[in-house]
Structure 1
């Protein structure tokens, strides 16, 4: 028996031939290719959804920033009005103090007897 015949098992019962082995490997590769294509399609859909979610978040952020700017402007107006009112209040207090001083000079002081 030749020693190279020991390694040649192509004709043994139940052993696949090299062609059958190649076909089997090809079928495995095709299945893997289909599975990878399916996963790729699913991930692309997820990425598309994430892009849509990001666009919506950016839109909401822009709306919130616009609202915030409006409210900041309103707050600035209110603060300015409060400052003006405080200034007016202080002016009126000074005027009232001056008028009280004048009244106190015109009204005689009452004397209290014990």
Structure 2
């Protein structure tokens, strides 16, 4: 067994301790990278939550404006209908007056 340890040295094969240290360094680097990614993901989530809150606020304001405009449109439609009825009644009254007035012909 002693001969194998001597050949490992000149062949460049790492010892179990060196292998463990290398593995520990790799894991530490991976953990550090994952922590960075986690922080970035948390920041993104925070931004998305704020965007959603702003979007909901904008939506609520838009819905309130839409309700106001719908009410205004309904009032205007009713006003148009009233005006149309008034016009029709005025046209009928004008027609009745035309019938009542005898046509005067110029000689």
User: TM-score higher than 0.5 here?
Assistant: yes
Per the normalisation by structure 1, the TM-score is 0.80
The alignment's TM-score, normalised by the length of structure 2, stands at 0.85
Long gaps (5+) in structure 2 = none
Tell me which residue corresponds to 1:69. Answer: 67
Cα distance change, pair 102–19 in 1 and its aligned pair in 2 (3 A):
same
Question: 1:90 and 1:10, CA in 2 relative to 1: closer, same or farther beyond 3 A?
Answer: farther
The C-alpha deviation readout for 1:92-111, integer Å capped at 9, x for no partner, is: 1111111121112xx5x326
For structure 1, the residue ranges without an aligned partner over 5 or more in a row are none
Indicate the residue corresponding to 2:105 in structure 1: 110
More helix per residue: 2
Paired residue total: 106
- Indicate the RMSD between aligned Cα atoms, in angstroms: 2.3
User: Residue 89 of structure 1 aligns with which residue?
Assistant: 87
